[in-house]
Every structure is written in structure tokens, then in C-alpha cells.
């Protein structure tokens, strides 16, 4: 029987990682990690230990996983190279550095490649923020599969370790929105030796060390944060909790719902059990998640000498870098547990924070850069105001299986003191060379309202005129399914924010984000949201349309049409026509949406909202712009039906890859 490591007395992990990085930080080169053998040779390397293959452009910034993990291995003395956005039509790019001595580390990038490529309506996106110039077509659909298979083809016998968000959230059987079916564990389809899930610094360092010591991939199966496939003749670990098998979850939606419930009940690393799921004659095993790392370990990671810039080989700007280059990560993890969000699942529910000194050291390094303009664009993490917050009773946390620390109400054992965060914010903005420190990460409003001092600091010093928040909906049932606070919480937060802004002599506004077509959201719920928006004067510029991402609880609701924890029925807007109406209702004020909004109101019998009353969403007669927009749409449809019409609409051919293979920007829509 395999034994998992026990929880240390310090309650957090990463002690060995911390000591390795502190003693080895001097090994890190001031240059970015090599992307060619010429660059590797300039360091005196004739072979590499680990080759990272990533679907993103390589940016040596701690917000990008390949940079973070690569620098950790470099500090530990390993020789590391980066293969960024390779041509997946052959394995030549995988041979760029020769045969890796230890393993290939494969990731689709900072995002799931399918979400990166397609909108909620399964249409090809116009840009890729993680590519030079924002160009599309530089990575394939389901990039982890292609990258792992090419690694196998390039050098047989070299271990292939898959990681990142795409692999992490597909480690067990999962619903795939783009093919509208349940797919097998990505381990089997990618033929990876292991999947490292969650935040992987400690995991990947241990993998490298043990392979370097002569152990095999099979010897690594005792590691936390690891999933693997057993051979047909191998015995299932006796302590594993058996999930409904792939054959069951792919044909029985209640079995899928039950599997989802079981998986999410085993996400607390201090009490999680090893999971096993049968896939025909093979079993996939997922060990318990890694123990969250300590503050000293976090400091050691972020103190590594990142250049914070794209690799010098790039000649075009990379949108994602432009967005985060002047941001500072102060924590990771989220105890919100929102059902539509993957952050809690991937980064963990336990907040892992850096020390104030580590944060200020990073700001000093930023301020010393001649290109720094004096404005820190964001100081935060997955949520801006969970810094240093944690359970006040570790012995209770070790047995807790609660899905959210703040829903349906804030746990009485949760420490919600904003004092340490306020201190960091104050000292950050007083640093020489810093003119402004902004908060752009999402604010957890129910926590923020508990600290009047934080609200004063935020409004007086850290908002650039607009503050983004995410109430997500106004309907009580939908909010409950999301695990979000009630609407009155958002209203009270807004009132406090505007009041404090006025006291500060500033004109500042709230920019709220809402989601259309989330499980539970029907036309009546969206009409109520539209009324709420009108009464409060909100006119969203963009509409967030729910995308069922792998592994999320809300995705299980979408697929099964039940709440996996209660098995109660949940309304789902599955047809594109229904989703279109919900999007239109959120932007009822746009003339081009007039006819969709009217259709929704007539369909639900809400004719009282058509006219000139104060609560009416649309006038009784369509405006001229609405008629023109409908005529233009009809003309576009006619044009697309002509020979070659669809090519004219969708024909964005990649300048690098031949059409018809892998990710195809010129294809009308992905196959269902």
C-alpha cells in the first residue's frame, strides 16, 4: 500500500523547498531561461535536465507558471530550457535541446486551451492574450494531448509530466463542453506518465530530485498532487476511495453528479483521501492534494531573480504581459469556493501569503527598473483582500469538509482581519519611485465591509476611478447555486464605497460583473437582473457568458441538470437561442438587442416592461437603430450562405501552420 506524507507540525509544507531556494538562488542566471541550444551553450550547458513545453509565449515573470517552475528548478541546480508555442505538426521543436536527461514538463499554458480558443458560443476568439501580437493559431486545441504525444515521439523513454490548469482540471473523467460529452482522464488520452495537479513548485522539484537520484516514474506515485494511470494488471491502492467509473459517469448523469460531489469533498489536503476511477481495464489514481506551502517558502519563490519581461527573441508585445507586468502577487488560493470558478480547485482553499518584506523587496526591484512608470497596476491575487486570512483553529481545519468558508455565511472560525493587508498597502505606496498602487484583483465585498478602515484606505489611495467587483447576479437562487452573497451585500458595499469616495473628495464608480446563462438562471431571473441594472444605472459594456469549464461544480450542474450536492433539479439554458436572449437582457439598453429583449419579455408574459414606464426595459416601438441592426444581420446571414461566404466571414488563416490540422482559425465552428 502506498503511504502519503503526513502533515508536518508546522501545518504548512515547503520547508525543503524554502531551504533549497535560499541556498541556491545565486545559481539563477540574470538572463531568462534558454529557448535555444545556442543560449544553453552560452551558459556552458551541453545537455538539459528538464525541457518545459508550453502553449504560452515565454515571459520570465512570476505570474506565468513556466517561469515560476523553471526558476525553481534552476535555483535547485537543474539545467532547464523552454520550448514555447512549438509547431505541433511534427516533433522537431521537441528535439531543439536534444534528449532531456530527466523529463519533459508539458503544459497548455496559463489557460485551458479550449477556453483560450473559443467563446461560450463555441466561436473562435479573435485574439490570444498569451501570444505575441495577440495572434491566434499558435497552439492546438487540447494542447496538452498534442504536446505530450509529440514528446513521446521525439524521444521514447523520456518521462512526460503534464501539468498546468488544463491537465490539472482534467485529471479524472470530466464533462467537455466543446464536444458535449464526458471524456476520459487526460492521463490516458495524453499518455502522460504523471499529471501534477495544483500549484506545482514543491511537486516538480521533488520529481526532478528523485529522477535525478535514479528513481523511476513508478517510484513517484507516493507524491501528493500527483495523478497516474495503473496498468491493467496493477493492483489498486487499498486506501483509495473508489469513484463511479468512466463507463458509469459517461452514461448516467446522476453517477456523474455523485462523482463530482465525492471529488470536491476530497479537496482539503489535510483530510483528503486518494481517489481511484476505473476506465475500462485501467484505473486512474489521484493522490491527495499537496500541502499548502508556508510563507517562507512563498517568499523564497518570489525572491528569485525574474526579469519580469518576455524573452528577448520576441519582437511583438504580448497582451498578457502588458496587463500584468507591473502587478505584484501577494497571495494565492481562495476560500470562496464559487461553483463556476476553478481557482479554489487549482490553487487550494487555504490562503498562502507572502511576507510584507518579500512584497516590498519586489516593489523595490520594480522601482529600480528605468522602464517602470511608478504605477503598480495591481497588488493582490485571486482575490485582493484575502491576504493573511486563515482558519483560527487549525485542528478544526484539518477535519473540515466545508466547500466554502464564506457561503452560505462567513464561518465564525475564519480570521478576517484586514490589518496586515492595510499595512502592506500603506508601505507599498510610500516606496520611493512609486506614485500609485492600484487594486485591480476582485474584491470580496462581504469581507471588505467588515473593515471600515480597509474601505477608507481602498477608496482614498488604491482606486483609479473605477473599481471592478463581481456580484455575478441578482437572483437569490442563482446566487446560492454560485455560492455568492445575496444582492443586498453588493448594494451595501456600493453604498459604503460611494460614501467613502465622497468623503475623500473623489468621484469614483463601481464596475460590476454579471454572468448570463449560469445554471439556475432562466429568463425570469435575467429579467429581474435587467430591472436591477436599470434601477441602479448600470450599463455593462461586456457580457460574461457562462462557460462550463472542466471539473467545476457548476459544470456538473450544466451537464446533469441537478445540483451534485443535493441532487435537486437545476434549470439550464443549453440552447444557443436561450443563451442569446439572456445576453441581450443584460444589455437591454442597446438598440441592436431590442428584438431579442422583446421576444424574451413576450415569452415570459412581462409585457409590463415594454413601454415608457420607469421600470420598462424597452419602448413599445423599435428604435430606428434596432431596425437597421436587424436588416444588417439579415444581410450578413444571406452573404454567408453564398458560395465562399463562410470563408469570407471566418477565414483567418494562420501565417505559420497549414489549415485543416489542429487548431483551425478558418473553421466555422468546432465540432460538437
SS3 242: strand
Is 172 part of a structural domain of the chain? Answer: yes
**Tens digit of pLDDT for each residue in 14-72?**
777 888 887 777 778 889 999 999 999 999 999 999 999 999 999 999 999 999 999 99
Report d(CA 572, CA 423) in Å as an integer.
45
Q: Which of 203-231 are b and which e, b meaning 16 or more Cβ less than 10 Å from the residue's Cβ? A: bbbbbbbbbeeeeebeebbebbbbbbbbe
Name the one residue in this structure whose C-alpha cell is 487549482: 346
Is 24 part of a structural domain of the chain? Answer: yes
Is 409 part of a structural domain of the chain? Answer: no
Q: Which residues pair with 610 in a beta bridge?
A: 618
SS3 544: strand
The answer, yes or no, to whether residue 648 has pLDDT greater than 80, is: no
Domain that holds residue 114: 15-180+191-223
CB 470 within 8 A of CB 442: yes
Q: What is the CATH number of the domain that holds 28?
A: 3.40.50.2300
> What are the two backbone dihedrals, phi and then psi, of residue 562, each rounded to the nearest 5 degrees?
-140, 155
CB 55 within 8 A of CB 113: yes
Exposed / middle / buried, residue 634 (Cβ in 10 Å: 0-12, 13-18, 19+): exposed
Is 264 part of a structural domain of the chain? Answer: no
Report d(CA 336, CA 347) in Å as an integer.
12
Q: What angle do CA 336, 302, 164 make, to 5 degrees?
A: 55
3-state percent helix, strand, coil for the chain, nearest multiple of 5: 40, 15, 50
Q: What is the pTM of this model?
A: 0.91
Is 102 part of a structural domain of the chain? Answer: yes
Query: Residue 30's pLDDT is what?
Result: 87
The answer, yes or no, to whether residue 1 has pLDDT greater than 70, is: no
Report the number of distinct structural domains present in the chain: 1
Query: Residue 642's pLDDT is what?
Result: 58
Q: How confident is the model at residue 640 (pLDDT cuts 50, 70, 90)?
A: low
Is 47 part of a structural domain of the chain? Answer: yes
Q: Which helix (H) or strand (E) holds 472?
A: strand 466-472
Is 653 part of a structural domain of the chain? Answer: no
Q: How many CA atoms lie within 13 A of 425 on its CB side?
A: 26
**Tens digit of pLDDT for each residue in 394-451?**
999 999 999 999 999 999 999 999 999 999 999 999 999 999 999 998 899 999 999 9
Mean pLDDT of 273-281: 97
Percent of the chain with pLDDT over 90: 86
Is 217 part of a structural domain of the chain? Answer: yes
**Tens digit of pLDDT for each residue in 537-588?**
999 988 899 999 999 999 999 999 999 999 999 999 989 999 999 999 999 9
Amino acid at each position: 500500500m502506498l503511504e502519503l506524507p503526513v502533515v508536518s507540525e508546522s501545518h504548512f509544507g515547503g520547508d525543503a523547498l524554502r531551504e533549497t531556494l535560499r541556498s541556491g538562488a545565486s545559481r539563477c542566471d540574470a538572463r531568462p531561461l534558454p529557448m535555444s541550444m545556442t543560449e544553453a551553450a552560452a551558459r556552458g550547458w551541453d545537455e538539459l535536465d528538464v525541457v518545459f513545453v508550453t502553449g504560452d509565449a515565454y515571459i520570465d515573470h512570476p505570474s506565468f507558471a513556466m517561469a515560476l517552475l523553471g526558476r525553481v528548478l534552476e535555483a535547485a541546480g537543474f539545467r532547464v530550457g523552454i520550448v514555447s508555442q512549438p509547431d505541433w505538426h511534427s516533433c522537431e521543436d521537441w528535439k531543439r535541446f536534444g534528449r532531456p536527461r530527466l523529463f519533459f514538463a508539458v503544459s497548455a499554458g496559463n489557460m485551458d486551451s479550449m477556453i483560450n480558443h473559443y467563446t461560450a458560443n463555441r466561436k473562435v476568439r479573435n485574439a490570444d492574450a498569451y501570444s505575441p501580437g495577440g495572434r491566434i493559431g499558435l497552439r492546438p486545441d487540447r494542447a496538452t494531448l498534442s504536446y505530450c504525444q509529440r514528446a513521446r515521439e521525439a524521444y521514447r523513454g523520456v518521462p512526460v509530466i503534464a501539468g498546468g490548469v488544463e491537465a490539472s482540471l482534467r485529471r479524472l473523467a470530466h464533462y467537455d463542453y466543446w464536444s458535449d460529452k464526458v471524456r476520459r482522464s487526460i492521463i490516458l488520452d495524453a499518455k502522460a506518465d504523471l499529471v501534477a495537479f495544483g500549484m506545482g513548485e514543491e511537486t516538480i522539484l521533488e520529481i526532478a530530485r528523485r529522477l535525478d537520484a535514479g528513481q523511476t516514474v513508478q517510484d513517484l506515485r507516493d507524491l501528493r498532487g500527483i495523478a497516474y494511470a495503473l496498468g491493467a494488471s496493477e493492483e489498486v491502492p487499498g486506501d483509495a476511495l473508489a469513484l463511479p467509473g468512466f463507463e458509469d459517469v459517461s452514461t448516467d448523469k446522476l453517477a456523474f453528479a455523485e462523482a463530482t460531489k465525492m471529488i470536491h469533498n476530497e479537496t482539503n489536503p489535510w483530510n483528503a483521501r486518494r481517489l481511484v476511477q476505473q476506465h475500462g481495464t485501467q484505473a486512474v489514481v489521484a493522490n491527495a492534494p499537496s500541502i499548502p506551502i508556508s510563507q517562507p517558502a512563498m517568499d523564497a519563490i518570489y525572491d528569485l531573480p525574474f526579469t519580469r519581461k518576455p524573452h528577448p527573441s520576441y519582437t511583438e508585445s504580448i497582451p498578457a504581459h502588458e496587463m500584468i507586468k507591473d502587478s505584484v502577487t501577494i497571495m494565492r488560493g481562495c476560500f470562496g469556493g464559487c461553483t463556476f470558478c476553478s481557482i479554489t480547485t487549482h490553487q487550494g482553499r487555504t490562503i498562502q501569503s507572502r511576507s510584507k518584506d518579500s512584497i516590498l523587496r519586489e516593489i523595490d526591484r520594480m522601482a529600480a527598473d528605468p522602464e517602470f512608470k511608478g504605477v503598480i497596476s495591481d497588488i493582490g491575487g485571486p482575490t485582493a483582500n484575502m491576504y493573511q486570512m486563515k482558519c483560527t483553529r487549525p485542528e478544526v481545519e484539518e477535519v473540515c469538509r466545508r466547500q466554502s468558508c464564506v457561503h452560505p455565511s462567513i464561518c465564525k472560525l475564519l480570521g478576517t482581519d484586514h490589518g496586515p493587508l492595510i499595512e502592506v498597502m500603506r508601505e507599498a505606496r510610500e516606496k520611493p519611485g512609486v506614485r500609485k498602487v492600484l487594486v485591480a484583483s476582485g474584491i470580496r465585498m462581504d469581507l471588505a465591509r467588515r473593515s471600515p478602515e480597509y474601505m477608507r484606505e481602498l477608496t482614498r489611495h488604491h482606486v483609479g476611478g473605477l473599481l471592478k467587483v463581481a456580484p455575478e447576479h441578482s437572483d437569490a437562487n442563482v446566487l446560492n447555486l454560485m455560492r455568492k452573497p445575496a444582492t443586498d451585500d453588493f448594494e451595501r458595499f456600493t453604498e459604503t464605497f460611494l460614501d467613502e469616495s465622497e468623503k475623500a473628495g473623489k468621484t469614483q464608480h463601481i464596475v460590476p460583473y454579471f454572468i448570463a446563462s449560469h445554471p439556475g438562471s432562466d429568463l425570469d431571473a435575467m429579467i429581474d437582473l435587467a430591472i436591477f441594472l436599470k434601477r441602479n444605472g448600470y450599463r455593462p459594456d461586456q457580457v460574461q457568458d457562462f462557460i462550463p469549464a472542466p471539473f467545476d461544480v457548476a459544470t456538473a450542474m450544466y451537464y446533469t441538470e441537478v445540483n451534485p450536492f443535493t441532487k435537486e433539479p437545476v434549470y439550464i439554458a443549453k440552447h444557443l437561442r436561450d443563451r442569446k436572449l439572456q445576453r441581450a437582457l443584460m444589455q437591454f439598453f442597446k438598440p441592436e438587442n431590442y428584438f431579442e429583449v422583446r421576444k424574451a419579455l413576450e415569452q415570459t408574459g412581462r409585457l409590463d416592461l415594454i413601454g415608457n414606464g420607469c421600470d420598462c426595459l424597452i419602448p413599445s416601438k423599435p428604435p430606428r437603430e434596432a431596425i437597421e441592426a436587424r436588416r444588417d444581420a439579415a444581410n450578413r446571414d444571406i452573404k454567408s450562405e453564398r458560395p465562399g461566404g463562410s470563408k469570407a466571414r471566418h477565414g483567418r488563416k494562420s501565417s505559420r501552420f497549414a489549415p485543416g490540422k489542429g487548431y483551425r482559425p478558418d473553421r466555422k465552428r468546432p465540432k460538437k
